[in-house]
Amino acid sequence: MSQPSTRTDLAGRRTRLREYQAQLLERMQSARTAGGARVNQLGVQVGPDRLLLDLTQAGEIVTVPAITPVPLTQPWYLGLANIRGNLVGIIDLARYLAADDAAQPNDFTDTVAGPDARIVTFAPGLGFNCALLVSRVYGLRHAAGMQAEGSQLADADGQLWTPFDLAALVRETRFLHVGF
């Protein structure tokens, strides 16, 4: 007898998730069209870092699908995933950035793919069928209300956020060469 209740609970969760995603998408779209200023950004956690992604550069946020590894690629290139019928390259940005750190070249910091993990696709305007594995999506952050601390921003709770430019990432030569 508990089966109908389980189906109802699952359907309710799906409905709430869809409503949340629709609200987040609506807020992201309204922020994109609001005066062109980079006031609202998408807050995500990548490895141990909290990053702010420009809303004009971020696309969809989806749960982590099955990722098919691609042989002879860099360790930060996790593989390919089918997202709404499109093959998308999945990148572990934390591992990519750690591999670039000359002080710790072999000490990779993987993004934890726990229950809060999501895939954030690149906006179509970047012209890259790519996405980032993030440990957590914090939602919209009002960057204009944060205090600058060097290259980072501190929010009202004292959390440090690093603005991250996906457009600059897709221009990096090392990022464009996923194969060995």
Joined tokens for residue 130? 């790519």
Q: Are 153 and 160 in contact (CB under 8 A)?
A: yes
Comparing CA positions, the residue from 45, 171, 166 lying closest to residue 116 is 45
Mean pLDDT across 123-139: 95
What are the residues facing 88 on neighbouring strands? 81
Q: What pLDDT score was predicted for residue 47? A: 86
Q: Are 141 and 151 in contact (CB under 8 A)?
A: no
Side chain identity, residue 128: F
48, exposed or middle or buried, with CB in 10 Å at 0-12, 13-18, 19+?
A: exposed
Q: What pLDDT score was predicted for residue 159? A: 94
Q: Are 80 and 88 in contact (CB under 8 A)?
A: yes
Give the domain range for residue 171: 2-176
Q: Across all residues in the chain, what is the average pLDDT?
A: 84
The more confident residue out of 37 and 152 is 152
The more confident residue out of 55 and 6 is 55
Overall size of the chain counted in residues: 180
Percent of the chain with pLDDT over 90: 64
Q: What pLDDT score was predicted for residue 20? A: 72
Other CB atoms within 10 Å distance of the CB of residue 117: 16
Side chain identity, residue 51: L
CA-CA distance, 125 to 147, in Å (whole number)? 30
Report the Cα 62 to chain-centroid distance in Å.
Answer: 9
CATH (domain of 109) = 2.40.50.180
When divided into structural domains, the chain yields a total of: 1
